[in-house]
Homo-oligomer: A and B are copies of this chain.
Amino acid sequence: MTDEREEFAHDPIAHAEARAGMTVGDLADEYGNAGLGASAVHEAVDVTAEMFEEATVFMGLAGAMVPAGMRQLVADLIRDGYVDALVTTGANLTHDTIEAIGGKHHHGRESHPDRSEREHDEQLRDEGVDRIYNVYLPQEHFAAFESHLREEVFPPLEADGTVSIQRLTEELGRANAAVNDRDDVTEAPGIAAAAYEADVPIYCPAIQDSVLGLQSWMYNQTSDFSLDALADMDDLTDMAFEADTAGALVVGGGVPKNYVLQTMLVAPDAYNYAVQLTMDPPQTGGLSGATLDEARSWGKLEKAARNASVYADATITLPLVVAAARERLDD
């Protein structure tokens, strides 16, 4: 049954199979046979793989991605040269550093089998445990974090007075990488360290809004150290100017998404590739779920840009898309 209508020029929907032992790249190919959200994952893999090969990549990382276990994956992308600039939250840098100095996040529960959510959280409070959905963090790690900052990170910056936020994240990466030389720490050094070693800048516009920011403020109370909110935009804008081909890999919404996209407002060109992994639907009208077409009206994406949006839990889709894109690049 052939069909001359324009709509049917494509291959028909085939049948997605789910076989024992198939690779993640195979799975992504099966998604390409399917429709709905599955086909969006396939497209996101395709665009991500091409972006990794062709573009200067600006990655946005919002949400509790480090507590959720995405730390190694992001550090590996940086080390392997796939990410050229990272925009993230102070919380992700705080949790990244806590692991770099030997702290751990733990598998927990969003609801306890013997307690209500409220009682559960009250008890965690009493025991000094912070909860992030189903992840626990012992609060004493924040004391170790404070010592690390006050001994290793802030002092070298103090002489310069007010520094850029990127300068702080760079120093944090240097200090986190250095921990690894100590005998008692066997942890992977993580995102900030990888970025320091690979000379990839990390931007963190809302740094005040995190424990890292609170600690910076407390150190500032008794020293000349402070942070300039505007200074980073020189370098970031330069990078956007110099990128012949630019890509945006956006995980979650919020400030990291917007900051990655708005960078192109002051550059002559715009993104040639964009992939977003988000759970917010566009119907709320918030930026976190806004379509990438909407970004075209602002000039943040080139008209001809390739783009894909996956509306599903990013802790599920990020490892899937990255593993499949890496498999494709390996071939």
Interface string of A300-326 (1 = CB under 8 A from B): 000100000011110111111011001
> In the complex, what residue of chain B is closest to A220 when comparing beta carbons?
B230
A112 CB contacts on chain B under 8 angstroms: 116
Q: Which of B38, B320, B329 contacts A27 (CB 8 A)?
A: B320
Q: Is the interface of A mostly helix, strand, loop or mixed?
A: mixed
Q: Which of A21-54 contact B (CB under 8 A)?
A: 21-27, 30-31, 33-39, 41
Q: Which of A96-115 contact B (CB under 8 A)?
A: 102-108, 110-115
Confirm or deny: A198 has a beta carbon within 8 angstroms of a beta carbon on chain B: no
Beta-carbon contact of A63 and B283 below 8 Å: no
Beta-carbon contact of A13 and B106 below 8 Å: yes
> In the complex, what residue of chain B is closest to A15 when comparing beta carbons?
B72
A265 CB contacts on chain B under 8 angstroms: 211, 214
Confirm or deny: A297 has a beta carbon within 8 angstroms of a beta carbon on chain B: yes
A134 CB contacts on chain B under 8 angstroms: 35-36, 39, 285
| Closest 9 A/B residue pairs (Cβ) | A34-B69, A15-B72, A37-B313, A36-B285, A281-B281, A12-B104, A206-B206, A133-B285, A38-B315
Confirm or deny: A200 has a beta carbon within 8 angstroms of a beta carbon on chain B: no
Q: Could you tell me the distance between the alpha carbons of A68 and B51 in the complex, rounded to whole angstroms? A: 27
Confirm or deny: A148 has a beta carbon within 8 angstroms of a beta carbon on chain B: no
29 contacts between A and B (CB under 8 A): A11-B106, A17-B72, A18-B320, A22-B23, A31-B319, A35-B107, A35-B133, A38-B313, A39-B107, A39-B134, A41-B316, A63-B286, A64-B286, A64-B287, A113-B116, A125-B296, A129-B297, A131-B297, A133-B285, A162-B162, A162-B228, A205-B208, A208-B233, A209-B262, A213-B233, A226-B228, A227-B230, A228-B228, A279-B280
